[in-house]
Chain A
Amino acid sequence: MIFLFYTAAIVALIATIAVIISTNVVHALVYLIISLLSVAVIFFALGAPFAAMLEAIVYAGAIMVLFLFVMMMLNLGQTTQDEEKEWMQPRLWIGPVTLVALLLVQMTNVLLTQDVDLRPIEVGVLEISVLLFGPWLLAVELASMLLLAGLVAAYHLAKK
């Protein structure tokens, strides 16, 4: 489990960094899929198989396919990639990266004061379903309304 966690974590980090520094949209998308799949492996290692399956099916499957369809519709060619290379100047990265790195150092300092081990005891579909259709029923209904609103808004916005 521990080997699985650290390997998947390293893959996820490398793939995520490749997403934000890549200039080709489709390459970035494939790296993002790799990152999401390795996060799914991390969920397995943490004893959350249901979340891992949802991550693989909904995130890496549905949402990324949506992205891919839109990329095919837009048909961004070589000019966009050249523009992208022009925008990727190191001096633009210095400010944001410094500030965000400071935030990360602070957050890491706070987190490292804890000393608890994770015991990957599997939390299965049953426990989650009991919660989803018990105390969280209203949230599930609201999520369905949110998805409906997203559907209607996407249809309206993408219409000519």
Chain B
Amino acid sequence: MDFIPYEHGLILAAILFVCGLVGVLTRRNIVFVLMSLEIMLNACGLAFVVASSRWQHAEGQVMFLMILTLAAAEVAVGLGLIIQMYRRFHTVDISVLNEMKG
């Protein structure tokens, strides 16, 4: 009987997380930065579900639910901030934000 190796699931989660990290580090469009954050949160959720499958316990999936809630709240606040930023600066370039003086 063939099964999925445990480390392959975790390595997939790690690669997805790293893709999101590269996106956060390199993109200048704030919408892409927020999307990359979503990718990273999703990769964390994948790692939790893989661990839940490894120990055959449902608590990993409970943690996935918490991550889902966190992602939803974070996206709502982040998109509100993007709308406000676009109204004030008429751009989605994050480098304009270094001139903010309160």
A residues adjacent to B (C-beta < 8 A): 1-2, 5, 9, 12-13, 16-17, 19-20, 25, 28-29, 32, 35-36, 39, 42-43, 45-48, 50-51, 54-55, 58-59, 62-63, 66-67, 70-71, 73-74, 76, 80, 83-84, 87, 92-93, 96-97, 100-101, 103-104, 107-108, 111-112, 114-121, 123, 127-128, 130-132, 136, 139, 143, 146-147, 149-151, 153-158, 160
Contact = CB atoms under 8 A, between A and B. Distances in A.
Interface in B1-57: 2-12, 14-16, 18-23, 25-29, 31-32, 34-36, 38-39, 42, 45-46, 49-50, 52-54, 56-57
B4 A117 contact: yes
A32 B35 contact: yes
Nearest to B93: A83
A48 B61 contact: yes
B52 A158 contact: no
Given A74-B92, A114-B7, A66 B75 contact: yes
Q: Which secondary structure dominates where chain A touches chain B?
A: helix
B87 to A, nearest CB: 8
A127 B58 CA distance: 6
Contacts of B53: 46-48, 118-121, 123
Interface of B: 2-12, 14-16, 18-23, 25-29, 31-32, 34-36, 38-39, 42, 45-46, 49-50, 52-54, 56-59, 61-62, 64-66, 68-77, 79-84, 86-87, 92-93
Interface centre among A13, A48, A71, A101 (most CB of B within 10 A): A48
Contact of B62 (A114, A136, A158): A136
Nearest to A13: B15
B35 A19 contact: yes
Nearest to A120: B53
A36 B35 CA distance: 12
A108 B5 CA distance: 13
Contacts of A16: 16, 19-20, 39
